[in-house]
Structure 1
Amino acid sequence: MNDLKKNIIEELKKINYPEFNRDIISFGILKDLVIEENKIKVLLNLKTNNDSHKQIIKDSILNLLSKNYDFLDISVDFIKEVEENPGNSLTNIKNIIAIASCKGGVGKSTVALNLACELSKNYKVGLLDLDIYGPSLPTMIKNYEQPKLVDNNLIPFEKYGMEFMSFGFINNDNKSTIWRGPMVARMTQQFFDNVNWSDLDFLLIDLPPGTGDIQLTLVQKIALTGAIIVTTPQDLSLIDVQKGSDMFRKVNVPIIGVVENMSNYSFRGQISGIKDFSSINLFFEDQKINIDNKGHFETSMSIFSGKGGAEESERLGVPLLGKLNIDTHLSFCSDNGTPYVFEDINTHNMKQFCNISKKIID
């Protein structure tokens, strides 16, 4: 009987989850395989509201098994698994938003932290850094302490009136992490089940690049409010970003909008030695630059030639939430553990973060 069960499971590995190049066994949806006398009962725990996906999987299983086990009565049933630890579910969090991009190096972590900080000015906010291989959050908020453990639950680190959790808080010796997919999935699941978040209005999740085990575990286990896609104005970036966007659409996660990072290069200056700036005209590349009454000015210039955020937002039919410029002060803040949006400055990026957060709320 055990051999029969093993053989059937091997057969089921031939079936891919709809629209993914990954089989249903590694996807973790097989809850049980019951073999009784002349019956095979396949029990699936599929956390999706997509009925067509359920039907495709069911039909594929029946068609496959009936070829080799036509002498048995085969049935496929979907069950709803009861949470093992319901007290640690994320039902106490009103909105869970993924900050994502299949492409690395587009500034997801910078966007995630500063959006979280901007939202925290009026709401209770948490930020979860899910990049197991290269966590950025410890550096960006300058915390390398290990989180406290109470009743087998991790207690989020508190700073700036917010709650933070990152794998980097646990693996804080900067050693490289070499883990296979199943270990990554289990660690990701622990961050969902065993972190004692307070009652939050928003939990932002900073995702690593790609569409691998972390992303799949997330969309399987958590009811996301939506995802924000981060890209840069480069065709090379956009090609990968589209893969990440399409993954969320396939699993029915709403895409809130697109943020274009590194849109232009911002530079600021001040004109001195003049008392009245009302008669001063300053131009850069045929564009007039506004000067305030103290001689301060800010302008930008294009660096990349791609279409970036506008093209992706149009393709997805979602808003372009904002366009952030390359800003040396933003980079300085990220490296020194001081969130940019808490600075007392009036810049293009400051206005953009404010506007993006308002659009998220709306």
Structure 2
Amino acid sequence: MARTSVTLPEGVIEVEGMLWKPKASATATAEEFIAARTRFVEINRDGRWNPWVFDEREAELDEASATMDQWTRAEPGHRRLTMKQLEARWEREDRRLERQRAAAEKQREARKQHYDQERAHARLALIENQSIVDHLQTELAGFRDGSRFPAMPPDKRQKDIAELEAQIERAHKLVTRLETDVGDPEEIIDKNGWLPRERREVMLFHYKYDREFSGRDLRKQLPDLQATHKASKDRKERSELRVKIGMAQRKLDDLLAVPELAAEQMCSECTTPMFKHGWVTPPYDGPCPAWPGWAKRIQRVREMLTAAAEENKQRNEPPPAPPPPKPEPLAVIPSGLPIAEITARLTELQKQFPDAEVRRGRANRWELWPAKS
């Protein structure tokens, strides 16, 4: 059935299903209003993912808002909500979200008892090996079309192709077995009862704000580095600054290249988009640290580094201090001497050690020791 056209009152326009009319004091035309509204929506949409857009386009946003304020809704009986009505709506929304959160938490608590560590481990191994298959297939395609190592001798290329094909076949078999063990990977909870989709939502939240913080920081760093580089007269310093500027610019470009993401595009185990997980860096950030095979490799490297650091520490430590010498008497007078000789020796020793004590030593000998403090 054909839609019946409705004739709008003079001066009223329809934009995306809403009617608008100029205020009595308006100077903005309908075309200017539509353009301003389009620009306003665009800036707010872009700023949702790249908040610094609000700073860069603040003047445009203010201008668009001023133009839009010259027009008002034209539906018969249309009234804007009062602040009291808005606050009541927000409170209802807060209560709804709290009920939703409490229900989700209750479900997670109920699911925790069904946690299966082996299946959870198998799920991660499945994801890891699917990634490995993708990587190997990309490698194989590069060897076959000659784009990978173009100067490689043909016999060596054929050998590498055969090895890759064998690796892919083994990886496919492992993936098939893991798929059987895992079942539906989206139904496998972690030890806290969280489903993968729930964890992805959390990871997206953290990634979004980590990205925002890093983006703002890099955008602040770059002008400072460039200004310092421009002002510097030291050749070495300028060279170091160029390196820093290049690194900061690449990091910023990499962040800006990431489009607005949905939760399903995130890794469920870390704050990294799944398309950033891979086995060649760049362009990938690397495998997920929660993937079992990669986690073992990281652990081995850590153990090696720890052992090397400990060995280096021991090598550089000074040798232990020798034990303190065994106390010895200041002088010894053997037994069996005539009294006159003993007296003479004691008299002489008294001059040397006036505060010394005479003690009985081994074999009835006389020993002079420092006085006890």
Normalising by structure 1, what TM-score? 0.20
Structure whose CA Rg is larger: 2
Higher share in strand: 1
* Higher RCO structure, 1 or 2 (CA under 8 Å, sep 6+): 1
